[in-house]
Amino acid sequence: MGTDYFSSFFDKIFHINIENSATRILASWYLLGQDSSYPPTNFDATHPDSEETNLHVDVQDNHYKLVRTLGAASTVLLKNERGVLPLGKKDRSIVIVGSGAGPGKAGPNQFSSGVRFFPLLIRVEDIG
């Protein structure tokens, strides 16, 4: 029962997970009819300015209005009534955290969820 036992065990689990994931992806692909009469992919996120791989189809319409409305509605401002918040008299600054907090060194999405271009991102410092 050395490391060979465990490595073969994890290899089997890993392959099962890959097979299950691939089956689910392909099942939904065929269920939605993406294998026939479906428009081709026309955007390459790694090369957004490429004329060769991008048709630059504008699908945003006036979504920016909805984004601004939802953003404003989801903003929370706390009032420190009766000193409930852990702020002392010396505390004169606050921190705003999140992908829309402001310019980051690696772009607006510093944790790389797969998207690096946010045309509708409204940073806190841009609200006015």
Rounded average pLDDT over 11-32: 87
Rounded average pLDDT over 113-128: 64
| 68 pLDDT tier (thresholds 50, 70, 90) | confident
Concatenated DSSP letters for the chain? --HHHHHHHHHHHHHHHHHHHHHHHHHHHHHTTTTSS-PPP---TTSTT-TTT-------TTHHHHHHHHHHHT------GGG-SS--TT-------STTSS--TT-S-TT-SS----TT---GGG--
Rounded average pLDDT over 124-128: 67
- What is the value of pTM for the model shown? 0.36
* pLDDT given at position 117: 63
